[in-house]
Structure 1
Amino acid sequence: MHPLRKFKLSRRTVLRGMAGGAAVTVALPMLEAMVNEHATAYANGDGLPTRFLSFFWGNGVVLDRFEPSVTGPDWDLTEELAPFAPVRDYVSVLTGLLNRCANQITHHEGMTAFSGYTFTPAGGPGFSSNFGGPTIDQLVADAIAERVTTPIRSMQVQCSKGFSPADNGTTATTISVRGEPGNLTPLYGQANPVDVWQSIFGEFVPQPDDSALRLSILDAVREDADRLRPRLGTVDNQRLDAHFDALAELEQKIVAMPPTCDLPAQPTHTNSESVSNEQITLTNQLMSEMIAYAFICDITRVASYLFLPLAGEAVLAESQSGSSSTQHVLSHQGGEAYHQGVVFIMERFSQLLQILGSTPDLDGSNLLDSTIVYGSSDCSIGWSHSIRRQPIILGGTGRDYLVHPGIHYQAVAAANPNENN
């Protein structure tokens, strides 16, 4: 065993040498020597990036076509959960949970699932309320900011623009609120992919792929060593051989290591269509990819994604519903078209998870391995606005913060899943 392989390098370790007649200093990418034996932290104790993403869709689900009948790791893919088949091992479904919001005005109480606080009256027209406390994504962002500074503290994106004209206040317009009760700042999502790209990547300059330069530096060091060899004794040459065996291994790691951050191409789609004909699949793909890029480039470690607004009045024209009515209207009818709308939403949610799962992370895993995705709605049953069985979907593992990923947890069994309660 080579002694050098026991060394633990700082992630700030640099290589110094001569290349092209000039002295150069080049930062190393993350290597195994920079992490602990379990690849869970840098050698200096800093944790590897762990990310958090909240995902929201309005108008609930059809419980008896959503909730699995089997608990534990062998949970069944129901009609509305079937889209998660490609990422099933990373998906946990939580059912039978009681939302304890103390007030109810329809839909707004469901947002307690994102903050844990009962909403406060907003005094606006129609159904109006504000979040009573900070949302979970911002609490996570606060915790991360205590030990790591990223270029952007958190990012907020939105897919459908179909806000309910009858609902107002922060609970109806965002899923991200920062601060303390009584002093909260809403953070609104951007629905235009071009604007999202510009705000996240417009001024960001990724480190160039300098693998060739790093290899040339190692070659220069090797040439200097060859000139030195005749002057060394046997023991020193053996030490030098061991050193260069380690360098050769380092070269192979550098060659095999993919670039950690390539900027995505700037999108041209602006998501400017009317809410009766939104290109939701395309918008969702672009937003999901930009979240993945922002995570892998370590621009931010926290994001919130408002997919379909509270009581969302968007026509899911790309779904199999065959209806020109909005998902909110369909939710009160409770028929097949509403169910097909829920399936379409779950397909897009799964698309997001699949994009994260196909994005390599720094340590050879993928973004689902380092991310916790928390998804829920504004009610459990669309036509009754019930919050007694709040649907929650968890994705990813968050570097094993989720001890039991890929399970169905049922708090209370449902005697009649679709009862109006």
Structure 2
Amino acid sequence: MRSSRFNRRSILRGVLGGATVGMGLPLLDLFLDGNGAALASGAPLPTRFASFFWGLGLTPTRWEPKKVGFDYDIPPQLAFLEGGLNKKTSVFTGFTVGLDGRPSHPHWTGMAAIMTGQCPVKDKSFDRLNSFDTVISDAVGGGTRFRSIEATPFRGATSSYSSRGEDAFKMADDSPLALYTRLFGQGFHDPNSGDWAPDPRVLVKKSVLSTVKEQRDVLWQQTGASDRARLEQYYTSVRELEQKLDAELRQPAPAQACRVPEAPVDLPRKGDVPTVAYNNKHMCELIAMALACNQTNVVNYVFTPATSEMYRPGDTPVYHAHTHEEPIDGKLGYQPISSELADISVGGFGHFLKTLDNIKEGDGTLLDHALVLGYSDTGWAKIHSIDNIPMLLVGGANGRHKGGQHIKVGADPVTRVSLTAQQLAGVPVGSFGTGSMATSKPITEVMA
């Protein structure tokens, strides 16, 4: 018999040291359906979402499967899918970006179109539009310490491609140690530890914010439409802080897959392949544990920026320079060094996926309960093409994603993939994009 008194959002309230605190309940069988796969209400379990970006695309002819549909062949640059990941991966080819009379900004327009649904007028700008990951975080990011986590293994690339408008991009942690300190330093509570008490410093901050809330509610009633528009963006950050503090004041529910990692070694600030690979390995492990330990449900990861300056040891030109200066090998039909660096970049994506898939969680793996978008900025870096930009969706999305397919289209807008990702992540959105890229047609073939 199911109780109607409590649900998964119920909080047991009490008084500690004269202050009211809340203790969240773990995900009990009481709140689940008979199969343990959904909430008793019928709503699905929360789905994690990650965007994984790498700069400079891939090599034409070396990443596109020849076979369309299920059981597609695995081309050289998707070799990381061998061993079963291909069954959890949808590969999208033939999609394009509609410029609508606007200029194509090299290494920016393609990525911006995927994330915002519009070609930006200005370079290095989202034209004050939100990136769609923020829509997902609004839907699934509540109840965790961090609404989202932004990270990059490329030292110095501290901006992510996540934005809530006003061309302000969320800052990314750019080293394993910085990410570790953020996730597992001050304020972290091991969900599997029986020794827990609310941090008195958090109680003070919460008390102050409660006072601020009363004042801002009064201010809201006294402002007009234009002032409210300005206040809304500010209040969004305040609400995120309130939710973060709320999460820190609730005893965390036990998390089966959570294992607190050791602090990583910090390497010198360099962009050579071994350093980026080291950082990527450890940051993937940290992010996987952040997801498993319920620190966040949303991650935005930038392996290298769009104009990647990663370089091979002993090599003078950086990756971006190679894509424009290296000639095409007559026998191979492509640029060998550029292609090698593309292999390394997308291989970093593969390591991210395998790290999630190696963590057992419930009736599957962490990747089975997540959706990961892998994407880049260009279809061919040598000519700054915005046609056929590599895009992949990976993970079970708690049973919503029907992976294992190669979807090939004829110049459909990239926003169809973006809309599909949002719906698979659990966002009740019916359309995405503007102008020629406006769409209300998700890719239903990959939706269970």
| Aligned residue among 31, 54, 57 for 2:51 | 54
Give yes or no for the alignment of 1:193 onto 2:188: no
Secondary structure of 1:149's aligned partner:
coil
Secondary structure of 2:353's aligned partner:
helix
| Aligned residue among 69, 92, 95 for 1:94 | 92
* Counterpart residue type for residue 349 of structure 2: F
1:393 aligned partner: 392
Give yes or no for the alignment of 1:120 onto 2:116: no
Secondary structure of 1:120's aligned partner:
coil
Q: Supply the distance in 2 between the matched residues of 1:195 and 1:57 (Cα, whole angstroms).
A: 20
Within 5 A, what are the aligned runs for 1:141-160? 141-145=137-141, 148-160=142-154
| Aligned residue among 148, 158, 163 for 1:177 | 163
* Counterpart residue type for residue 175 of structure 2: N
Within 5 A, what are the aligned runs for 1:236-255? none
Q: Supply the distance in 2 between the matched residues of 1:144 and 1:208 (Cα, whole angstroms).
A: 23
- Counterpart contact for 2:46–2:140, Cα < 8 Å: no
Rate the CA distance shift 1:201–1:45 in 2: closer, same or farther, 3 A: farther
2:284 aligned partner: 288
Once the two structures are TM-superposed, the CA of residue 189 in structure 1 deviates from its matched residue by 1.2
Give unpaired runs (5+ residues) of structure 2. 12-22, 195-253, 329-334, 412-448
Q: Supply the distance in 1 between the matched residues of 2:96 and 2:273 (Cα, whole angstroms).
A: 35
Residue-by-residue CA offset, 1:68-97 (whole Å, 9 max, x unaligned): 110111111101111221311111110000
- Counterpart contact for 1:56–1:376, Cα < 8 Å: yes
Rate the CA distance shift 1:263–1:108 in 2: closer, same or farther, 3 A: same
1:41 aligned partner: 38
Within 5 A, what are the aligned runs for 1:227-376? 259-268=256-265, 270-276=266-272, 278-317=274-313, 323-332=315-324, 333=326, 334=328, 335-361=335-361, 363-376=362-375
Once the two structures are TM-superposed, the CA of residue 275 in structure 1 deviates from its matched residue by 2.0
- Counterpart contact for 1:323–1:337, Cα < 8 Å: no
Rate the CA distance shift 1:103–1:12 in 2: closer, same or farther, 3 A: closer
Residue-by-residue CA offset, 1:240-271 (whole Å, 9 max, x unaligned): xxxxxxxxxxxxxxxxx983423221212x24
Secondary structure of 1:349's aligned partner:
helix
Give unpaired runs (5+ residues) of structure 1. 15-25, 122-127, 164-171, 211-256, 414-421
Secondary structure of 1:305's aligned partner:
strand
Secondary structure of 1:176's aligned partner:
strand
* Counterpart residue type for residue 40 of structure 2: A
Q: Supply the distance in 2 between the matched residues of 1:329 and 1:27 (Cα, whole angstroms).
A: 52
Secondary structure of 2:70's aligned partner:
coil
Q: Supply the distance in 1 between the matched residues of 2:273 and 2:353 (Cα, whole angstroms).
A: 24
- Counterpart contact for 1:158–1:191, Cα < 8 Å: yes
Secondary structure of 2:180's aligned partner:
helix
Normalised by the length of structure 2, the TM-score is 0.66
Secondary structure of 2:360's aligned partner:
coil
Rate the CA distance shift 1:265–1:45 in 2: closer, same or farther, 3 A: farther
Rate the CA distance shift 1:56–1:13 in 2: closer, same or farther, 3 A: closer
1:129 aligned partner: 124
Q: Supply the distance in 2 between the matched residues of 1:174 and 1:260 (Cα, whole angstroms).
A: 27
- Give % identity: 27
Residue-by-residue CA offset, 1:346-399 (whole Å, 9 max, x unaligned): 2221111011001122x3311111111011111010101101112101111211
Secondary structure of 1:81's aligned partner:
helix
Once the two structures are TM-superposed, the CA of residue 161 in structure 1 deviates from its matched residue by 3.4
- Counterpart contact for 1:315–1:327, Cα < 8 Å: yes
- Counterpart contact for 2:255–2:292, Cα < 8 Å: no
Secondary structure of 2:168's aligned partner:
strand
- Counterpart contact for 2:90–2:407, Cα < 8 Å: yes
Q: Supply the distance in 1 between the matched residues of 2:156 and 2:318 (Cα, whole angstroms).
A: 9
Secondary structure of 2:399's aligned partner:
coil
* Counterpart residue type for residue 184 of structure 2: F
- Counterpart contact for 2:160–2:301, Cα < 8 Å: no
Q: Supply the distance in 1 between the matched residues of 2:273 and 2:404 (Cα, whole angstroms).
A: 35
2:71 aligned partner: 74
- Counterpart contact for 2:55–2:304, Cα < 8 Å: yes
Rate the CA distance shift 1:207–1:391 in 2: closer, same or farther, 3 A: closer
2:155 aligned partner: 161
Q: Supply the distance in 2 between the matched residues of 1:385 and 1:11 (Cα, whole angstroms).
A: 49
Secondary structure of 2:119's aligned partner:
coil
Rate the CA distance shift 1:412–1:38 in 2: closer, same or farther, 3 A: farther
User: Which is higher, the Rg of structure 1 or of structure 2?
Assistant: 1
Secondary structure of 1:199's aligned partner:
helix
Once the two structures are TM-superposed, the CA of residue 12 in structure 1 deviates from its matched residue by 8.0
Rate the CA distance shift 1:28–1:190 in 2: closer, same or farther, 3 A: closer
- Counterpart contact for 1:160–1:275, Cα < 8 Å: yes
- Counterpart contact for 1:161–1:314, Cα < 8 Å: no
Q: Supply the distance in 1 between the matched residues of 2:371 and 2:61 (Cα, whole angstroms).
A: 26
1:245 aligned partner: none
- Counterpart contact for 2:116–2:132, Cα < 8 Å: yes
Once the two structures are TM-superposed, the CA of residue 140 in structure 1 deviates from its matched residue by 0.6
Once the two structures are TM-superposed, the CA of residue 401 in structure 1 deviates from its matched residue by 2.8
- Counterpart contact for 2:191–2:293, Cα < 8 Å: no
Once the two structures are TM-superposed, the CA of residue 10 in structure 1 deviates from its matched residue by 5.1
Higher mean alpha-carbon deviation, 192-201 vs 98-107, is at 98-107
Residue-by-residue CA offset, 1:43-90 (whole Å, 9 max, x unaligned): 356642211100111111111111111011111110111122131111
Once the two structures are TM-superposed, the CA of residue 327 in structure 1 deviates from its matched residue by 1.3
| Aligned residue among 207, 229, 233 for 2:191 | 207
- Counterpart contact for 1:162–1:309, Cα < 8 Å: no
